[in-house]
Structure 1
Amino acid sequence: MTAALARRGSGTAAGQSSDALAELEAISPLLANAFGVQSTQVRNLDKQMTRLRGSS
Protein backbone atom coordinates (compact mmCIF):
# COMPACT_ATOMS: atom_id res chain seq x y z
CA MET A 1 0.00 0.00 0.00
CA THR A 2 1.33 3.43 -0.87
CA ALA A 3 1.68 6.16 1.71
CA ALA A 4 -1.02 8.23 -0.02
CA LEU A 5 -3.50 5.37 0.16
CA ALA A 6 -2.61 4.71 3.79
CA ARG A 7 -3.53 8.31 4.64
CA ARG A 8 -6.81 8.28 2.70
CA GLY A 9 -9.68 9.72 4.69
CA SER A 10 -7.45 11.34 7.26
CA GLY A 11 -6.92 14.74 5.67
CA THR A 12 -8.52 17.75 4.13
CA ALA A 13 -9.84 17.90 0.59
CA ALA A 14 -6.72 19.79 -0.48
CA GLY A 15 -4.54 17.15 1.14
CA GLN A 16 -6.44 14.39 -0.61
CA SER A 17 -6.03 16.21 -3.93
CA SER A 18 -2.30 16.45 -3.30
CA ASP A 19 -2.16 12.75 -2.48
CA ALA A 20 -4.10 11.87 -5.62
CA LEU A 21 -1.81 14.07 -7.70
CA ALA A 22 1.25 12.34 -6.25
CA GLU A 23 -0.23 8.94 -7.11
CA LEU A 24 -0.96 9.99 -10.70
CA GLU A 25 2.50 11.49 -11.12
CA ALA A 26 3.99 8.21 -9.91
CA ILE A 27 2.12 6.08 -12.46
CA SER A 28 2.46 8.48 -15.39
CA PRO A 29 5.90 7.19 -16.47
CA LEU A 30 4.64 3.61 -16.22
CA LEU A 31 1.76 4.33 -18.57
CA ALA A 32 4.04 6.25 -20.92
CA ASN A 33 6.40 3.26 -21.10
CA ALA A 34 3.56 0.80 -21.60
CA PHE A 35 1.39 2.72 -24.06
CA GLY A 36 3.51 5.57 -25.41
CA VAL A 37 3.74 9.22 -24.50
CA GLN A 38 1.01 10.25 -26.96
CA SER A 39 -1.40 7.47 -25.97
CA THR A 40 -4.97 8.14 -24.90
CA GLN A 41 -4.16 6.76 -21.46
CA VAL A 42 -1.32 9.19 -20.86
CA ARG A 43 -3.23 12.16 -22.29
CA ASN A 44 -6.20 11.42 -20.03
CA LEU A 45 -3.91 11.07 -17.03
CA ASP A 46 -2.33 14.43 -17.89
CA LYS A 47 -5.81 16.01 -18.00
CA GLN A 48 -6.65 14.61 -14.58
CA MET A 49 -3.37 15.91 -13.14
CA THR A 50 -4.09 19.35 -14.58
CA ARG A 51 -7.54 19.34 -12.95
CA LEU A 52 -6.06 18.32 -9.61
CA ARG A 53 -3.39 21.02 -9.79
CA GLY A 54 -6.14 23.58 -10.32
CA SER A 55 -8.13 22.37 -7.33
CA SER A 56 -5.32 22.33 -4.78
Structure 2
Amino acid sequence: MDSTAAKAHHDAAGMLVDAEVLTTLEKAVEEEKPRAKRADGGGRRICGPDSCGSPS
Protein backbone atom coordinates (compact mmCIF):
# COMPACT_ATOMS: atom_id res chain seq x y z
CA MET A 1 0.00 0.00 0.00
CA ASP A 2 1.49 3.35 -0.94
CA SER A 3 1.39 6.38 1.35
CA THR A 4 -1.47 8.03 -0.57
CA ALA A 5 -3.67 4.97 -0.11
CA ALA A 6 -2.70 4.71 3.56
CA LYS A 7 -3.54 8.38 4.14
CA ALA A 8 -6.89 7.97 2.40
CA HIS A 9 -7.67 4.91 4.50
CA HIS A 10 -6.74 6.70 7.75
CA ASP A 11 -8.76 9.73 6.74
CA ALA A 12 -11.81 7.58 5.97
CA ALA A 13 -11.41 5.82 9.32
CA GLY A 14 -11.35 9.16 11.14
CA MET A 15 -7.73 8.72 12.19
CA LEU A 16 -6.56 11.99 10.65
CA VAL A 17 -7.49 15.34 12.14
CA ASP A 18 -6.82 18.88 11.11
CA ALA A 19 -3.83 20.51 12.85
CA GLU A 20 -6.11 23.09 14.48
CA VAL A 21 -8.38 20.36 15.87
CA LEU A 22 -5.38 18.42 17.15
CA THR A 23 -4.00 21.50 18.91
CA THR A 24 -7.38 22.15 20.55
CA LEU A 25 -7.63 18.54 21.73
CA GLU A 26 -4.09 18.59 23.12
CA LYS A 27 -4.85 21.78 25.09
CA ALA A 28 -8.02 20.20 26.49
CA VAL A 29 -6.08 17.15 27.66
CA GLU A 30 -3.50 19.33 29.42
CA GLU A 31 -6.27 21.33 31.11
CA GLU A 32 -7.97 18.15 32.32
CA LYS A 33 -4.88 16.58 33.90
CA PRO A 34 -4.91 18.68 37.12
CA ARG A 35 -8.68 18.27 37.42
CA ALA A 36 -8.45 14.50 37.13
CA LYS A 37 -5.71 14.36 39.75
CA ARG A 38 -7.81 16.37 42.21
CA ALA A 39 -10.85 14.19 41.56
CA ASP A 40 -9.07 10.99 42.57
CA GLY A 41 -7.22 12.56 45.48
CA GLY A 42 -3.96 12.68 43.56
CA GLY A 43 -3.19 9.08 44.34
CA ARG A 44 -3.35 5.79 42.55
CA ARG A 45 -6.44 3.65 42.71
CA ILE A 46 -5.91 0.04 43.66
CA CYS A 47 -8.41 -2.35 42.13
CA GLY A 48 -9.23 -5.79 43.41
CA PRO A 49 -11.47 -8.56 42.09
CA ASP A 50 -14.55 -6.97 43.72
CA SER A 51 -13.83 -3.33 42.93
CA CYS A 52 -13.27 -1.03 39.95
CA GLY A 53 -16.10 -2.54 37.94
CA SER A 54 -14.63 -5.97 37.35
CA PRO A 55 -16.90 -8.20 35.24
CA SER A 56 -19.13 -10.67 37.05
Greater Rg over alpha carbons, structure: 2
TM-score normalised by structure 1 residue count: 0.40
TM-score normalised by structure 2 residue count: 0.40
Flag the structure with more relative contact order, 1 or 2, with Cα contacts below 8 A and sequence separation at least 6.
Answer: 1
